[in-house]
């Protein structure tokens, strides 16, 4: 295994690179257990195979990047970044109602299939999820950078662990801070990683708490923090009596499939889709960072690289703590 560190961030110079690397080793306790270019000897084309798979899938379906990014969050926040979210069966994480709307599984399966042909039993599903989400961001127009690999696949997947470990869109700021802190993520990471909502789709049920049905059966806005015009558009797309579990809207109404800083601009315009989005502007602890990101995309991208690295090293399993699955859906 080689440990040659090479991270790319927009307009970064060597000094910025070194600062980021030192930051990562200080802020990511699990990083020392992983390596950059982990597969340089055992499967040199591993990252290219994953990237090509993600690119091909995204060209056919522009919603793929958002799905892969969400899949990573749901994997890493529950049992750590160990691909436990991919395991199938009764009582697994994947079977929990909170995960039934997850997508992107076919992309991971396709990448794994190719990797097993050229490098059998070498690349973990956990690494594929992390690399695929990293590549999805870049393909959607976001920053490109390297992340370490060497994660092993977990053997445990329990649906009971899902709800206590993922953010509910109705969470208060204190509830989100508590959850993120429990994963080793800071308040800055919370704001930065919320920027993932610059791409992706949401089911109407995810923000239905911001509306109420009146005596005539029509929806009316009860959350005054939401822009009126935007609220009317959401009601049009998610009418009362419609399917709140099958109807979807874009997280970002302006640049739906582009990974950019528009999400933060939306917050300033009171167009955050979820209550957990809007609260980032309302709370004094996070408002300034929202404003900074809205006005400076490069600043957001730089922060994204740092926070994403921390996200993908949450409670990773290495050595004998996990395995390399032959199929991402089942343990060996």
Annotated binding-site positions for Ca(2+): 75, 78, 80, 82, 84, 93, 198, 252, 255, 260
203 is catalytic: no
Strands (E) in the chain, as ranges, are: 201-203, 211-213, 219-221, 248-250
Which residues are part of a known binding site for heme b? Answer: 197
Query: Measured between alpha carbons, how far apart are the two ends of the chain, in Å?
Result: 24
* Active-site annotation holder among 67, 74, 134, 151: 74
Q: Which two tokens stand for residue 292?
A: 């900074």
> Can you tell me the distance from the alpha carbon of 134 to that of 304, in angstroms, rounded to the nearest whole number?
11
Cα separation, 238 vs 132, in Å, equals 31
Three-class SS string for 25-73? HHHCCCHHHCECCCCCCCCCCHHHHHHHHHHHHHHHCCCHHHHHHHHHH
Binding residues: 75, 78, 80, 82, 84, 93, 197-198, 252, 255, 260
Question: Is the Cβ–Cβ distance between 49 and 166 less than 8 Å?
Answer: no
- Look at residue 211 and give its three-state secondary structure: strand
Residue 221 and residue 223: Cα distance in Å, rounded?
Answer: 6
Residues involved in catalysis:
74
């Amino acid at each position: 295994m080689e440990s040659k560190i090479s991270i790319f961030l927009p307009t970064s110079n060597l000094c910025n690179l070194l600062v980021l690397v030192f930051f990562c080793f200080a802020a990511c306790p699990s990083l020392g257990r992983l390596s950059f270019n982990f597969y340089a000897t055992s499967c040199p084309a591993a990252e290219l195979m994953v990237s090509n798979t993600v690119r091909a899938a995204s060209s056919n379906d522009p919603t793929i990047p958002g799905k892969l990014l969400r899949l990573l969050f749901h994997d890493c926040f529950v049992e750590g970044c160990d691909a436990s979210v991919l395991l199938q069966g009764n009582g697994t994480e994947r079977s929990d109602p909170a995960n039934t709307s997850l997508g992107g599984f076919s992309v991971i399966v396709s990448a794994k299939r190719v990797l097993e042909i050229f490098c059998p039993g070498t690349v973990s599903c956990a690494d594929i999820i992390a690399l695929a989400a990293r590549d999805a961001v870049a393909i959607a127009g976001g920053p490109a950078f390297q992340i370490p690999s060497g994660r092993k696949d977990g053997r445990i997947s329990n649906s009971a662990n899902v709800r206590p470990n993922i953010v509910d869109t109705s969470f208060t700021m204190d509830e989100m801070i508590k959850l993120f802190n429990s994963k080793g993520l800071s308040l800055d990471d919370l704001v930065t990683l919320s920027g993932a909502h610059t791409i992706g789709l949401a089911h109407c049920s995810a923000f239905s708490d911001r509306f109420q049905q009146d005596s005539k059966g029509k929806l009316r806005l009860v959350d005054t923090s939401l822009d009126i015009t935007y609220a009317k558009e959401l009601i049009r797309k998610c009418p009362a009596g419609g399917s709140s579990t099958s109807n979807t809207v874009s997280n970002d109404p302006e640049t739906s499939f582009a990974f950019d800083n528009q999400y933060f601009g939306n917050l300033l315009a009171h167009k955050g889709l979820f209550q957990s989005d809007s609260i980032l502007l309302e709370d004094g602890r996070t408002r300034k960072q929202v404003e900074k990101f809205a006005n400076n995309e490069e600043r957001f991208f730089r922060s994204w690289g740092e926070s994403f690295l921390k996200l993908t090293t949450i409670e990773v399993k290495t050595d004998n703590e996990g395995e390399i699955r032959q199929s991402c859906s089942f343990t060996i």
